[in-house]
Amino acid sequence: MGLFKGAVSLSRYQVACEVKGFWDFVDRRVRANLFVDIDDSTEEISVGWCSAHDALDTEKTWLAYAGYRLEPHLVLGMRVDRRRVPGALLRKLHRQEVAKARALREGRPLSRTEREDLKEKARLDLLLRTVPSTVLVEVVWDTKRGELWVATASRGLLDYFEDLFRRTFDAVPVPRIPWLLAGELAGPARRQALEGLRPADLYQEVA
């Protein structure tokens, strides 16, 4: 629980989202993009909102009293479930399926399409038997200042977050990179000086 306990890797964003009836809008859109369980399916990934305090709390009941609403802050959890089929295991099961099919055909070879169909069957069988891994990422949105804090520095998880946020709120989160922060701190008078800065060259040739 990075934002609530212990060390945290933090990514910051700026976002503008001005709509009438903002909190009603938030409630509708969060409910429409809740996490969907994939345990009993062959889906490889699922991304959606849940309680920021408990990744298993994905039911709409956690929204009943708007516990995510700490004005002016919005506190959500992004849950990401992923399952991957090991390549070596897939190849092994595929060979077994091909051997069974050839035995039923008395050794006659299979076409390329038939082999691909058996490979897909093996992949789906393995997906059903593979337990997804679960990751919870806490998200805090200061709706007054238009700032977002996301408790991860993983590029892959941030890609999932940016996509989910856009789909949910019809708004684009803009990363607050050091260059932009420096420009804000410097102010208009000194911003031109920043434009002239170049990376330092620390290479020195030894004679």
Q: Give 27-79 pLDDT, tens digit per residue.
A: 999 999 999 988 888 888 999 999 988 888 767 667 776 778 888 999 999 99
Contacts of 48 (CB under 8 A, 6+ apart): 33, 34, 35, 36, 58, 78, 79, 164
Do 109 and 81 form a contact (C-beta atoms < 8 A)?
no
Sorted by where each begins, the domain ranges of the chain are 11-83+131-188, 87-128
What pTM does this model have? Answer: 0.74
Identify which of 42, 61, 52, 58 has the alpha carbon closest to the alpha carbon of residue 8: 52
